[in-house]
Chain A
Amino acid sequence: MHLAIESASKAFPGVQALDNVSLELRPGEIHALMGENGAGKSTLIKIITGLYRPDGGRLLVDGREVSFQSPRDAIAAGISAVHQERNLIPRFSVGENILLERLPTHRGLLDREAIHREARRYLDLLDRGIDTRAEVRTLSVAQMQIVEIAKALSLETKCLLMDEPTASITEHETVALFSLLRRLRDEGAAIVFVSHKLEEVFAIADRVTVLRDGRNAAIGEPMSAMTRQRLISLMVGREERIVERPQRTVETDVVLEASGINTAFGHRDISFALRRGEILGLYGLVGAGRSELARAIVGDIPVTGGALRLKGKAVRIRDMHEALDHHRIGYISEDRKQEGLILAHSIRENIAVTIWKRLAGMLGLIAPPAEARAVLPYVERLEIRTPSIEQTVGNLSGGNQQKVSVAKWLAANVEILIIDEPTVGIDIKTKAYLHELIHEIAEAGTSVLLISSDMPEMVALADRILVMHGKRLVGEVANGRRYETVSRAIMNRIHAVEEERPAAAE
């Protein structure tokens, strides 16, 4: 199949996810789609598979313009995909999941023998060890990923899109997958392959398209002429952007110190120190375990080993409540809509939630006027644009919502603030304001642990940057505010770790 996207654009509230992006996919090629986190790769794949409808641009299949209204249309047109999200029915058998939308029947009833026979054929291409009769919920994450790949393969489409298919499978399975993809390519299939692992891309891709900030940085360049350094340059940007904000060297007391921490999530031997008034960056690719480390610090994920010290004293934090009330640690979740804010409540209630105990008067009653008096200064200081503090938070823009999240912790007067992806989906102006605000908070003495996949943000804000990969800290990069130098150093650090492992791709 020949598939082409011409100048596709897609906006979400507050962000332009794709801006005039093109991709050309020829029959008989494996085409790598590369880019940093948030560059727009998954959005592009969701447009091709009919999950999103583009705001502008054309999608051509074998030269004819098509418009997919739903994933059904894309499947009917011969396009199948492995998405990043888990897309299996937990209570169904492996076989049923693989053949879900075209279960074989015999006289109107499901033909179970045929289901397992058919599913076995595709599963055997990758892994003979998975029982097609097992319920999917009993499988490991890696096995589920194999089932997803088998499901996509079983459609026998001429166009296969794979969004990070190797993220959670073993090296052995990766080898099997690659030889299979090569065979499909040689039979004329067109394959899009998304991966953060450079060696995989160099091992398997014929051409590469690179996205950066929702735009094309490269369109269909042959991999034979590509070098590792040039590919990284295309992904992170060539020009040396120097951030205005001066470099800081923080040499105050250590406030939070982790030494050799292990967690129930699987972090191993995590050690770092956060100083008073410092902004410590924590960078890593999706799945590196950054947010989970933050959750472990605030007691949401059990710490199973090592020691956590606050101002030199070893502590054991069991939940968020203890983190805030006893240790003055605040956590702004990356998922502000689900976890950070109560969308149906007013600005007043959302900010005051952390200080209700302090505000409660006699008989434990809270007077709304007292809340308003406590909340108002923050609303003004953070320039939250709203007609009234009684406004429902759900009605605010993403940027103003994030300001409310920050205000909530400022009101609580925390000493340590963990901020997870503070500016995802937020417009540029508010983003700049939030950066200024985070800087101000730190200058005022609050220690900030900043988690971000946004490299420019990291370079603009962090004093030092910790690099996390595969649930371990793999290095620390000094932030000289020189964008290209820093991002290159971080990428090299991550890819060096990848290479230290035995080569999977060949």
Chain B
Amino acid sequence: MNTIFRRLLMVEWSGLLAAIILGAAVLAWLSPAFLTEFNIYVMLRSFCVALLVGFAQMVTLAVGQLNISVGALGGLVAVLAGGMMEKLGFPVAVAVPLAIGIGGLAGLLNGVLTVRTGINGFIITLATASAFTGINLGITESIPFYDMPPSLVAFGSNRFFGFPYLLIAPIVVAALLGLFLARTVPGRHLLAVGGNPQAAELSGISRDGITMLAHALSGALAGAAAVLAVAQLGSAQPTIGADWLLLSFAAPIIGGAALTGGHVSVLGTTLAVVLIALIENGMVLAKVDPYWVQFVLGALILAAVWLNRWRAVRTGMG
């Protein structure tokens, strides 16, 4: 029994799972509102955008890069999607893939700039973040697009008992991303470049190409998160993405990602976002000032990083 417990402790997401189960049990016991259908719907709905934002950062962490522009890029994609649907009258089926594609292209731009200039991706994406936000505000003059197609708004707000339809998107993306990283050649190469760039290059893998791929993927995921945010809010707000940056790092890092690259976990990131959603929900139910969510998130990141470090030392593979 003891060995099973120990082995479980060594699995990266075990602590998260335990925290989620414990947290949910405590909340269910303390608050009768917690297990109501509507509360579950609210919680799951807040989970959707956050998970895609976490994934957007996770793929750049996987290759050993950072993407500071996730939020700015998401904001830009959100208003472009809104503009295409409201001003240009594009149907949802055209506007959504186009918007995600634009996100991918913007990410590719980050990648190309990083690879071609040799400048640290942190600086490049810091600069493009400002540029993307500038374009966003220049186009909208801070005025949202309110007239969204009814089908999109319905997708963003309808539910099947406690299950929001919106949740379909992150579930599909998580499955595809997990498959991509674990079972496809470009996915493995992405982690190989993150794990040991020199070794990957000597094995004949194109380090530059893979770095660009990771940035493009990050942009597309941020774009997808933006589209979901538009559906959820029912309008294309220029402020979408403004508060994503901390979350984008918190989710993969709490989920066990190595900041040095080469190791990320789709399941870990997902559980991290569940935990964050649970904490936010618990604080709302307990009527705690929502500003304290920031504090808890910070403490959680520290705890997670410390736990990973401890595990690395224990297994002698730090």
- Given A91-B262, A110-B185, are A101 and B205 neighbors across the interface (CB < 8 Å)? yes
Say yes or no: is B183 at the interface (Cβ < 8 Å to chain A): yes
Q: Does B196 contact A (CB under 8 A)?
A: yes
The reply to whether B191 and A89 form a contact with Cβ atoms under 8 Å apart is yes
Q: What is the CA–CA distance of A91 and B256 in the complex, to the nearest angstrom? A: 13
Report yes or no: A100 in contact with B262, Cβ–Cβ below 8 A.
no
Are A108 and B196 closer than 8 Å at their CB atoms?
A: no
Contact A100 B191, beta carbon cutoff 8 Å:
no
- On whether the beta carbons of A103 and B185 are closer than 8 Å, the reply is yes
State whether A90 and B196 are in contact (beta carbons under 8 Å apart), knowing that A71-B203, A101-B204, A138-B317 are contacts in the complex. Answer: yes
Q: CB of A105 within 8 A of chain B?
A: yes
Instruction: Note all chain A residues with C-beta closer than 8 A to B195.
Output: 89-92
A96 interface residue (CB < 8 Å to B)? yes
Binary CB contact string for chain A from 356 to 392 against chain B (1 if under 8 A, 0 otherwise): 0000000000000000000000000000000000000
Q: A105-B185, A109-B183, A109-B184 are in contact. Are A90 and B262 (CB under 8 A)?
A: yes
Check: B202 CB closer than 8 A to any chain A CB.
yes
The answer to whether residues A75 and B204 also contact, given A92-B192, A110-B183, A110-B184 and a CB cut-off of 8 A, is yes
Chain A nearest CB: distance from B205 CB in Å? Answer: 5
Tally the A-B contacts, defined by beta carbons under 8 Å: 71
Note all chain A residues with C-beta closer than 8 A to B189.
100-101
* Stretch among A2-10, A80-88, A171-179 lining the B interface: A80-88
* B204 and A87 contacting across the interface, CB-CB below 8 Å: no
B199 at the interface (CB under 8 A from A): yes
Query: How many residues belonging to A are interface residues under a CB distance threshold of 8 Å?
Result: 28
Q: Mark B195-216, 1 if CB is under 8 A from A, else 0.
A: 1101111111110000000000
Contact A72 B206 (CB under 8 A): yes
User: Which A residues lie within 8 Å of B199 (CB)?
Assistant: 86-89, 100
The reply to whether A89 and B202 contact each other, CB–CB distance below 8 Å, is no
Q: CB within 8 Å of A: which residues of B?
A: 179, 182-185, 188-189, 191-192, 195-196, 198-206, 262-263, 317
Known: A71-B201, A88-B196, A89-B262. 14 other contacts (CB 8 A): A71-B203, A72-B204, A72-B206, A75-B203, A75-B204, A86-B199, A87-B196, A87-B202, A90-B196, A101-B189, A103-B185, A109-B179, A110-B183, A110-B185
- Cross-chain pairs A/B with CB under 8 angstroms, 26 sampled: A70-B201, A70-B204, A71-B203, A72-B204, A81-B202, A83-B202, A85-B198, A87-B199, A88-B199, A89-B192, A89-B262, A90-B195, A90-B196, A91-B262, A92-B195, A100-B192, A100-B203, A100-B205, A101-B189, A101-B203, A103-B185, A105-B185, A109-B184, A110-B182, A110-B183, A151-B203
